[in-house]
C-alpha cells in the first residue's frame, strides 16, 4: 500500500538552497569608518572585530525585506524539485525573528509570491511561522518532520525556510555580527540527503535576557558576554539530554560523529562552542581537539559565516550545507552514512541538539549544488550604501517612490509596494 507505515523508513532533508543578498561591506573598512568618526572607540571596536573572526557582512537590497529573502530561497529550491514534490507539498513554514507583520506569517506572503511567480504551489497546505530567536527554523523543521512521520504518507513533503535580517544599534561592537540571508530545506519522507533522528532531540531552555528585540525596535539588544555564556551552558545541557535519550555516553556520541554543526552568530563563537563541548567530554589535549575538528572539516564549514555574517535562524543550516558540500568534495560517495550532530541555539533562550545521518541519495543531491556562487555573488558597494541601509528605515511613501525607479534584476522577488493600509505586496521581476 502506498501509504503503509512500512513505506516510510525515516524523515529528513531532501535538498537545501542558500540565498544571500548581494550587497556586502568589508568589516575592516567599516571599522575604519567608525574610528575616523570617533577615535576613542578604536581599541574597543578593534578588539571586538578580532574576537568575532568576521571578515565581511551581507545586507539586503533597498527593495528587499525578509519575505523576499525567504521567497527567493524557496523559489530556487522548488524550481529544481521533482513535480511530484510540488504536488505533494503539505507544509510551508518559516522560522524567523524578522517578521514583517504582527499577525500574518512570512510563510503566507511566501506562498502568494511563489504562486504569482508561476509555481504550482497547492492551497491544500499549512503555512505558519515559528519564532524563537535563531532557533525558530530548527523547531519548524523538527515539527514538520514529526508531522510527516505521523501522517505516514510518502508522497507528502514540506518546505522549511530559515530567513532573517540581523540588525543592531550603531555604532556598537554588535554591528560586526550583522548579516542577512535565507536557507530553504525540502523536508520529506525517505529523504535523499539527510535522515533526521526526531525521537532523540535534546533540549535546554531558560528565560533569560541575553538577547531580545522590543516590539518598538527594529534592532536587537544583546549582552555579548552573557549571551556567549548562555550559549555554552545550553549546548552542554541539551547535548547531555540528547545522549541520555540515545542511551549513549557523551564520549561515545562525540567519537562517532563525523560532522559537527552549530549555530554561528560569528566565526569564533562556533569554534569556541565546538572546542568547549569536546574538551568537556573527551580526554584529549587542546591540540588533539583541534586535529579532531580539522579531520572532520569543521573549520572549512564555518568559513562562509565569516564572509556573510549572522543570518540568525539560517546560520546553522548554511553551515550544514557548506559542511556537507565540503565533506562530499573530500570523500565522494563515502560521505553516505556519516553521522551529523546539530546544535541550534536561540537566545532568550533555547537549545536543541539532535543527530542525523547522510542518506544514500546524498551524492546525487550534493553534486547538483553550486555553493561557491553564494560567496562569489557578493557586491562590495562601500560604506555609503551600507550606511543608507543601517541608518534609514523608509516610510511607506518614500519606499514606494524609491521602488518605482529601482533597477531590479530579472528573476528577483521584491517588495512591489506598501499599500495605504500597510499591507505589503510582493512580485517577481
User: Which secondary-structure segment (H or E) carries 281?
Assistant: helix 267-281
* Cell (9 digits) for 15: 535538498
Q: Any idea which residue has 527567493 for its cell?
A: 72
Compute the distance between CA of residue 323 and CA of residue 338 in angstroms, rounded to an integer: 12
Q: Tens of pLDDT along 46-78?
A: 999 999 999 999 999 999 999 999 999 999 999
The 3-class secondary structure across 33-89, one letter per residue, is: HHHHHCHHHHHHHHHHHHHHCCCEEECCCCCCCHHHHHHHHHHHHHHCCCHHHHHCE
pLDDT at 2 over 70: no
Q: Tens of pLDDT along 297-340?
A: 999 999 999 999 999 999 999 999 999 999 999 999 999 999 99
Higher pLDDT, 198 or 15: 15
Compute the distance between CA of residue 215 and CA of residue 203 in angstroms, rounded to an integer: 27
User: Which secondary-structure segment (H or E) carries 387?
Assistant: helix 383-391
pLDDT at 391: 85
* Cell (9 digits) for 64: 528587499
**Cis previous bond, 235, omega within 30:** no
pLDDT at 394: 84
pLDDT at 395: 87
How many Cα atoms within 13 Å fall on the side-chain side of residue 103?
A: 3
Q: Closest Cα to residue 345, out of 191, 248, 229, 189?
A: 229
Domain boundaries of the chain, sorted by first residue: 5-428
Compute the distance between CA of residue 135 and CA of residue 13 in angstroms, rounded to an integer: 17
Q: How many residues does the chain have?
A: 429
Compute the distance between CA of residue 45 and CA of residue 36 in angstroms, rounded to an integer: 12
Higher pLDDT, 2 or 230: 230
- In this structure, the dihedral spanned by the alpha carbons of residues 203, 206, 209 and 214, taken in order and rounded to 10 degrees, is 70
pLDDT at 85: 85
27-37 vs 383-391: helix crossing angle, rounded to 10: 70
pLDDT at 1: 34
pLDDT at 7: 65
315-331 vs 136-151: helix crossing angle, rounded to 10: 70
Compute the distance between CA of residue 360 and CA of residue 409 in angstroms, rounded to an integer: 37
Measured CA distances, 404 to 167, 326, 414 (Å): 26, 42, 11
pLDDT mean across residues, the chain:
94
272 φ/ψ sector (left φ>0, alpha ψ -120 to 50, else beta):
alpha
User: Which secondary-structure segment (H or E) carries 154?
Assistant: none
* Cell (9 digits) for 354: 539532535
pLDDT at 403 over 70: yes
At residue 216 the predicted structure's pLDDT band, cuts being 50, 70 and 90, is confident
pLDDT at 320: 98
Angle CA 241–192–90, to nearest 5 = 80
- pTM for the full predicted model: 0.95
At residue 29 the predicted structure's pLDDT band, cuts being 50, 70 and 90, is very high
pLDDT at 101: 94
Antiparallel, parallel or unpaired: β 221-222 and 211-212: antiparallel
- Homologous superfamily of domain range 5-428: Thiolase/Chalcone synthase (3.40.47.10)
Instruction: Reduce the DSSP state of residue 350 to 3 states and report it.
Output: strand
Compute the distance between CA of residue 315 and CA of residue 296 in angstroms, rounded to an integer: 19
Compute the distance between CA of residue 273 and CA of residue 264 in angstroms, rounded to an integer: 9
At residue 3 the predicted structure's pLDDT band, cuts being 50, 70 and 90, is very low
Instruction: Reduce the DSSP state of residue 356 to 3 states and report it.
Output: strand
Q: Tens of pLDDT along 146-191?
A: 999 999 999 999 999 999 999 999 999 999 999 999 999 999 999 9
Phi then psi dihedrals of residue 424, to 5 deg: -100, 130
CA 424 to chain centre: 24
Q: What percent of the chain has pLDDT over 90?
A: 91
At residue 83 the predicted structure's pLDDT band, cuts being 50, 70 and 90, is confident
Q: Other CB atoms closer than 10 Å to residue 220's CB: what's the count?
A: 20
Amino acid at each position: 500500500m502506498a501509504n503503509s507505515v512500512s513505506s516510510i523508513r525515516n524523515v529528513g532533508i531532501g535538498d537545501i538552497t542558500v540565498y544571500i543578498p548581494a550587497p556586502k561591506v568589508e568589516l575592516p573598512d567599516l571599522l575604519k569608518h567608525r574610528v575616523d568618526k570617533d577615535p576613542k572607540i578604536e581599541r574597543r571596536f578593534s578588539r571586538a572585530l578580532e574576537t568575532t573572526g568576521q571578515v565581511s557582512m551581507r545586507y539586503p537590497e533597498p527593495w528587499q525585506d525578509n519575505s523576499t529573502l525567504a521567497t527567493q530561497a524557496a523559489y530556487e529550491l522548488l524550481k529544481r524539485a521533482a513535480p511530484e514534490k510540488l504536488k505533494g507539498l503539505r507544509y510551508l513554514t518559516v522560522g524567523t525573528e524578522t517578521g514583517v507583520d504582527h499577525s500574518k506569517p512570512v510563510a503566507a506572503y511566501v506562498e502568494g509570491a511563489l504562486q504569482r511567480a508561476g509555481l504550482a504551489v497547492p492551497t491544500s497546505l499549512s503555512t505558519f511561522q515559528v519564532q524563537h530567536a535563531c532557533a525558530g527554523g530548527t523547531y519548524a523543521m523538527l515539527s514538520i518532520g514529526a508531522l510527516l512521520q505521523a501522517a505516514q504518507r510518502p508522497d507528502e513533503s514540506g518546505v522549511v525556510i530559515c530567513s532573517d535580517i540581523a540588525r543592531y544599534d550603531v555604532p556598537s561592537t554588535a554591528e560586526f555580527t550583522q548579516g542577512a540571508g535565507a536557507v530553504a530545506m525540502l523536508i520529506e519522507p525517505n529523504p535523499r540527503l539527510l535522515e533526521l533522528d526526531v525521537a532523540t532531540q535534546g533540549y535546554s531552555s531558560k528565560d533569560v535576557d541575553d538577547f531580545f528585540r522590543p516590539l518598538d525596535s527594529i534592532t536587537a539588544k544583546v549582552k555579548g558576554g552573557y549571551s556567549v555564556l548562555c550559549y555554552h551552558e545550553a549546548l552542554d545541557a541539551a547535548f547531555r539530554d540528547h545522549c541520555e535519550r540515545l542511551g549513549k555516553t557523551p564520549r561515545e556520541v562525540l567519537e562517532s560523529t563525523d560532522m559537527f554543526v552549530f549555530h554561528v552568530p560569528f566565526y569564533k563563537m562556533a569554534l569556541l562552542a565546538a572546542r568547549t563541548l569536546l574538551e568537556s567530554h573527551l580526554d584529549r589535549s587542546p591540540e588533539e581537539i583541534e586535529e579532531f575538528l580539522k579531520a572532520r572539516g569543521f573549520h572549512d564549514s564555518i568559513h562562509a559565516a565569516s564572509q556573510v555574517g549572522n543570518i540568525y535562524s539560517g546560520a546553522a543550516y548554511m553551515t550544514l550545507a557548506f559542511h556537507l558540500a565540503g565533506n562530499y568534495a573530500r570523500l565522494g560517495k563515502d560521505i553516505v552514512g556519516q553521522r551529523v550532530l546539530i546544535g541550534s541555539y536561540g537566545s532568550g533562550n533555547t537549545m536543541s541538539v539532535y543527530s542525523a545521518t547522510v542518506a544514500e541519495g546524498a551524492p546525487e543531491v550534493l553534486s547538483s549544488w553550486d555553493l561557491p556562487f553564494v560567496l562569489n555573488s557578493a557586491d562590495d558597494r562601500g560604506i555609503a550604501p551600507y550606511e543608507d541601509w543601517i541608518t534609514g528605515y523608509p516610510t511607506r511613501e518614500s519606499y514606494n517612490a524609491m521602488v518605482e525607479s529601482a533597477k531590479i534584476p530579472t528573476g528577483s522577488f521584491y517588495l512591489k509596494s506598501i499599500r495605504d493600509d500597510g499591507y505589503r505586496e510582493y512580485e517577481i521581476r
